[in-house]
């Protein structure tokens, strides 16, 4: 009796396993395919599009403030402060807010002028999962500096 039971259980278990694995795999693939956004862009492509292959330096001048842990990924406050003069010929040209793991890596591009008087920008963004937020700053002389910080996301906010 024991042997029969053992064989029975073995067969049923293997059958379940065989049926379950491909189904699961298919379901996952479908989910991935349907989650493509209209203008998806990877982080590396986004950086290339902005800098055109130029070197990007990490700098203390860029102060990026984001929460360390975001309970709700749908609303993550982001604040960027750039410690750089805003004169007529020497100013912060643009601030790009990027993420590393959303479908579309670009969040917002802000083109500033000397009338702003301070390199400052704040907004709220959506993050799908735990990842880094990057502030890429373009100065008027054409150089790029950046600062990155990781954010832990408990509940994703991209649907």
Partner 1 sequence: MAEKRKSMIKIKPKKYKVGDVVKVDFIVIHPMDTGMKKDKKTGEIKPAHYIDSIKFSFDGKPFTTMKVWESVSTNPYFSVKYKVTGKGKITVDYTDNQGEKNSKSKKIKPKG
- Under the rule (CB under 8 A), what is the footprint of partner 1? 34-39, 74-76, 99, 102-104, 106-113, 115-118, 120-127, 157-159
In contact, 128 and 103? CB cutoff 8 Å: yes
Phi, psi of 113 (to 5 degrees): -130, 175
Q: Of 1 and 69, which CB lies nearer to partner 1 in the complex structure?
A: 69
Rounded-to-integer distance, Cα 79 and Cα 118, Å: 13
Q: What value, to the nearest 5°, has the Cα angle with vertex 78 and ends 69 and 105?
A: 90
- C-beta of 1: minimal distance to partner 1 in Å? 51
Tell the smallest beta-carbon distance from residue 107 to partner 1 (Å).
4
- What SS3 state is found at 87? coil
Task: Compute, in degrees rounded to 10, the torsion defined by CA atoms 65, 69, 73, 79.
Answer: -10
Residue (64 or 127) nearer to partner 1, CB? 127
Instruction: Between 34 and 55, name the residue whose CB sits nearer to partner 1.
Output: 34
Q: Which is nearer to partner 1, 120 or 152 (CB)?
A: 120
Residue 82 CB burial class (10 angstroms; 0-12, 13-18, ≥19):
buried
Supply the minimum distance, in Å, between the C-beta of residue 12 and partner 1: 35
CB of 22 to partner 1, least distance (A): 25
């Amino acid at each position: 009796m024991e042997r029969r039971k053992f064989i029975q259980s073995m067969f049923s278990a293997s059958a379940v396993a065989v049926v379950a694995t491909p189904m699961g795999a298919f379901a996952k693939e479908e989910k991935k395919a349907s989650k493509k956004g209209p203008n998806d862009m990877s982080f590396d492509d986004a950086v290339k599009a902005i800098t055109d292959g130029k070197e990007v330096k990490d700098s203390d001048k860029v102060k990026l403030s984001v929460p360390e842990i975001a309970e709700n990924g749908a609303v993550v406050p982001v604040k960027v402060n750039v410690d750089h003069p805003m004169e007529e010929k020497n100013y912060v040209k643009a601030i790009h807010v990027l993420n590393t793991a959303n479908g579309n890596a670009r969040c917002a591009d802000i083109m500033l002028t000397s009338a702003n008087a301070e390199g400052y920008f704040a907004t709220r963004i959506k993050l799908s999962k735990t990842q880094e937020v990057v502030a890429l700053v373009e100065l008027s002389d054409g150089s790029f500096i950046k600062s990155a910080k990781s954010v832990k996301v408990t509940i994703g906010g991209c649907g």
